[in-house]
Structure 1
Amino acid sequence: MSGTHDHAALNRSAALASISMASLLVAIKGYGAWSTGSAAMLGSLADTALDLVASVATLAGVWVAGQPADDNHRFGHGKAEALSALFQVVLIGVSAVVLAIHSVQQLIAGGRSEQAGEGIIVSAVAIVGTLALLAWQRHVLSRTRSIAIATDHLHYQSDLILNVAVIIALALDQYAGFTRADPLFGLGIALWLGWGAWKASQEAIEQLMDHEWPEDKKARFIEVLAMHPELRGVHDLRTRTSGNQDFVQFHVWIDGNMTVTHAHKVMDEIEAKLKTHFPDVEILIHPDPEGHVGESGVMAEDILKGV
């Protein structure tokens, strides 16, 4: 239990660090966008504001998903992370559209950004702060492997690229006389945000729809499962992921003359072996006498053949 509490505390610390850093970056980028009128800076501000919302949603998702199963949620609360992700997707999509419209209008109107030097300084400070946050998140991920924190980590990695893009856009505008660089970069950032929203929506929908594990992960699971000498076959394997919790259930064929006590011992051994390789999975095993099939189609096939 102490390890679980330690992981939860580390995850919360990473989420709180994200919220603190995003709040600081929103403040300085807000000033930068106001002082320069830069579309690229406005896009960076929008992205950081979304990072702040995402970090708050991550904290809420980690907290809710970490609650133990109860009478109304017997499989836990893991899908809270997917719901928070969908909320983020809506915000990101709206911001991308608004930024794209603003960039097109500025591209048509023309004009140069004001006080570009201040915008460059703001973006440089943002890069330093983001690097510090990423370092702490990597430390937490090495200990907890939290999916929610890993997703937040990706958000801030993309923020680094956006800050560099803002510096390039402002430098081209201010020092190279390329006045259309800023709105073009702003439009590019809008497309970047839209692409990120699309990818995040696919991951969230897969969790909510109880999508099967990736084939390579399932293959590793089957390889470990096949190690027990008293298994005569396995069928009707079903897998899914909910937040940071994996679930798997399957039927196994064993000697039909085996006693209930012996069969129970075998099931315990199988589960213990699987847990050493997949520690965060919840396993449900149904034993069948060898040859018994209650399913049809693919679910009736022995998945250990050829392993």
Structure 2
Amino acid sequence: MVQGNDKMADLKRDRAEPVDHDGALRRRATYASVAVAATLIVAKLTAYLFTESVSILSSLIDSSSDLLASLVTLLGVRVALRPPDRSHRYGHGKAESLAALAQAAFVTGSAVFLSYEAINRLINPQQIQEGLAGIAVMILSIFLTVGLVAYQRHVIRRTGSMAIGADSLHYSGDLFMNLAVIAALVITNATGVGSVDPIFALGIAAFLVFGATRIAKGSLDTLMDRELPHADRKRIRDIVMAHPATRDMHDLRTRNAGSIVFIELHLELDSHLTLAAAHDITDAVEAQLMEAFPQAEVLVHQEPYGLSDERLDTRIAEAGRLRRGL
């Protein structure tokens, strides 16, 4: 009994230290993102003034939106790292999802403006000047972006941050966009065909909208408390049912709030157990779940096995039957 309680205490203490380290990683990732975006804005603005290329303009617009998005991410991560308080007892993790949703809005707005500029350039063609200068700036952009994305992916693997994941998706898209801009400049300089540049810009705008859609979907799933994937829910059930004292379980509910996972379930135990024994069994089950899901908050409600009561699982099944009958 005491050993089970000690294991729970050790788990919670061991998890507290990485959380602080993960928070520092997330903050550093947001600072790096802002610094890279600001550097690229200056470089691309200079290149655009020399070349007047709408493809470079598209990349400049995207970097400008990246800077705004990165600032939003920085703010979102700072808020998400705040501990629970009286008004937010589940913590502030969803601030990351809000930041990611704001990023999606920035990217979509950038794509709309870029499409307008590209269509205008198709109607009123304009020769690109100093193409080599533009290519040099785009190569610099690629090197900086590769370094940033590599660091962001390291942070995402360690922390699971949704906001940094959305930011990384931006910059991963930028790599393809920068390559497309270089291709547009090379082809235009080689052929003299002015329509190549705005056509590439329209393709980049479509790519931005695609990325924004993915970001928005992931953010809305979190904000709407979408359940964890089926594989994770099955894993949770397997862990709970593996304990020898478990008779059954029901009403499993899961959700994601930033890098924190919330797991709630009803654990069915033999009715003759004492309260202390049921408590120790529950502690053991919670410890196993927290080992499998290190950033999880686990809440287990004990019930006598075979108790007939109203259940969420039953209501969900009935609602499903009604929808299928319509």
Q: Does 1:292 align with 2:277?
A: no
- Structure 1 range deviating more: 137-146 or 285-294: 137-146
- The answer to whether the 8 Å contact 1:93/1:193 transfers is yes
Q: Does 1:110 align with 2:91?
A: no
Matches within 5 A, 1:33-52: 33-52=48-67
Mapped to 2, the partners of 1:34 and 1:50 lie a distance apart of 19
Mapped to 2, the partners of 1:193 and 1:142 lie a distance apart of 24
Partner of 2:76: 61
Q: 1:272 aligns with which of 283, 287, 307?
A: 287
Mapped to 2, the partners of 1:92 and 1:154 lie a distance apart of 11
Q: 1:282 aligns with which of 291, 297, 317?
A: 297
Q: Say which structure is richer in helix.
A: 2
Alignment partner of 2:183: what SS? helix
Q: Does 1:160 align with 2:175?
A: yes
- The answer to whether the 8 Å contact 1:16/1:59 transfers is yes
- When normalised by structure 1's length, the TM-score is 0.93
- State the 1:300 CA deviation: 7.6
- The answer to whether the 8 Å contact 2:73/2:167 transfers is yes
Mapped to 2, the partners of 1:22 and 1:34 lie a distance apart of 18
Partner of 2:188: 173
- Structure 1 range deviating more: 131-140 or 43-52: 131-140
Distance change >3 Å, CA 239–CA 226, structure 1 → 2: same
Q: 2:231 aligns with which of 196, 216, 228?
A: 216
Mapped to 1, the partners of 2:129 and 2:94 lie a distance apart of 46
Q: Which runs of 5+ in 2 are unaligned?
A: 1-15, 317-326
Alignment partner of 2:185: what SS? helix
- State the 1:171 CA deviation: 0.6
Mapped to 2, the partners of 1:86 and 1:150 lie a distance apart of 12
Distance change >3 Å, CA 266–CA 297, structure 1 → 2: closer
Mapped to 2, the partners of 1:2 and 1:231 lie a distance apart of 31
Alignment partner of 2:102: what SS? helix
Distance change >3 Å, CA 109–CA 300, structure 1 → 2: closer
Q: 1:131 aligns with which of 132, 136, 146?
A: 146
Mapped to 2, the partners of 1:56 and 1:111 lie a distance apart of 34
Deviations 1:219-277 (A, max 9, x none): 22222222111111111111111111111111111101111000000000000011111
Mapped to 2, the partners of 1:4 and 1:157 lie a distance apart of 26
Q: Which runs of 5+ in 1 are unaligned?
A: 302-307
The CA RMSD measured in Å over matched residues stands at 1.8
- When normalised by structure 2's length, the TM-score is 0.88
Instruction: State the one-letter code of the partner of 1:195.
Output: F
- State the 1:92 CA deviation: 1.6
Q: Does 1:95 align with 2:110?
A: yes
Mapped to 1, the partners of 2:146 and 2:196 lie a distance apart of 26
- State the 1:38 CA deviation: 1.4
Alignment partner of 2:144: what SS? helix
Instruction: State the one-letter code of the partner of 1:122.
Output: V
- The answer to whether the 8 Å contact 2:166/2:215 transfers is no
Alignment partner of 2:262: what SS? strand
- The answer to whether the 8 Å contact 1:294/1:300 transfers is no
Identity %: 39
- Structure 1 range deviating more: 291-300 or 28-37: 291-300
- State the 1:154 CA deviation: 2.1
